[in-house]
């Protein structure tokens, strides 16, 4: 289970299945993804953890945005890496979702951590290189070093953080399965394997768990698939709909 967040029981056709609900880019089904509004909604809905994406602005500020460009989720244009933080805050990152979110901005990592506080575990996907020393300082400032989780599709990208941030838990995201995935994670000191829901099978979950790994899955948005993942032994589920997992504290 996610550190300090507890597990969550779900009662969708199974008895006492323990599953941690992780809000994908916040409660992105209901609010604009990767914004404070989405984080606030995820917390209101009882998410134990909140996943969000990190990139670096042109002036070296970690910002919360998924795509290489701001085109899809704001009224602006351009590559995140070529825009300063001041450029980015001028864009409206909410109106595309609904007019009531007009004026919503792209948050910095600091703003995201301040919004999440100790109400949920921050789960950060590294979409690009973030200097480990910078990340270390920001996590320490918000007292999140022992709580945070780092995810990446690239084990090599995670390696420096394993050295400088030994208390931060790391996980490999995978959308393709190979039999050596569990071994690669173990060799790299990565304790979580997060599998795309499309490649999730009982045998693969069992292999990973037998290697001592936690198994998460992404992105699951219907009750039947959630129940199936829990039955396979998945312990962390990334979803746009965190309210699909009932927030009842499980016995630890």
Catalytic residue ranges: 24, 66
Residue whose token pair is 């997060």: 194
Comparing C-alpha atoms, which of 209, 223, 231, 235 is closest to residue 15? Answer: 231
* φ/ψ of residue 161, rounded to 5: -70, -30
| CA neighbor of 70 nearest in space, from 240, 138, 150, 58 | 58
DSSP reduced 3-state for 65: coil
The residues near 224 (Cβ < 8 Å, ≥ 6 apart) are 12
With contact defined as beta carbons under 8 Å apart, do 7 and 47 qualify?
A: no
What is the C-alpha to C-alpha distance for residues 135 and 37, in angstroms, rounded to an integer? 23
- CA dihedral for 142, 145, 146, 148, sign (positive or negative): positive
The CA-to-CA distance between both ends of the chain, in Å, stands at: 10
């Amino acid at each position: 289970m996610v550190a300090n967040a507890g597990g969550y029981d779900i009662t969708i056709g199974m008895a006492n299945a323990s599953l941690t609900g992780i809000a994908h880019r916040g409660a992105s089904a209901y609010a604009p993804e990767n914004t404070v509004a989405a984080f606030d909604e995820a917390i209101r809905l009882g998410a134990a953890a909140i996943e969000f994406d990190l990139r670096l602005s042109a002036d070296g500020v970690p910002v919360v945005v998924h795509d290489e460009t701001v085109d899809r989720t704001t009224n602006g244009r351009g590559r995140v890496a070529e825009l300063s933080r001041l450029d980015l805050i001028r864009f409206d990152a909410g109106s595309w979702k609904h007019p009531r979110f007009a004026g919503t901005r792209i948050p910095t990592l600091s703003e995201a951590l301040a919004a999440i506080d100790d109400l949920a575990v921050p789960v950060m996907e590294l979409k690009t290189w973030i200097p480990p020393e910078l990340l270390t300082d920001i996590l320490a400032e918000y007292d999140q070093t022992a709580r945070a989780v780092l995810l990446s599709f690239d084990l090599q990208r995670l390696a420096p953080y394993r050295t400088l941030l030994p208390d931060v838990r790391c996980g490999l995201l995978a959308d393709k399965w190979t039999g050596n995935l569990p071994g690669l994670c173990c060799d790299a000191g990565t304790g979580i394997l997060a599998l795309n829901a499309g490649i999730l099978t009982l045998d693969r979950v069992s292999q990973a768990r037998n290697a001592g790994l936690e198994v998460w899955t992404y992105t699951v948005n219907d009750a039947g698939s959630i129940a199936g993942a829990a039955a396979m032994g998945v312990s962390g589920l990334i979803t746009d709909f965190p309210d699909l997992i009932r927030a009842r504290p499980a016995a630890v």
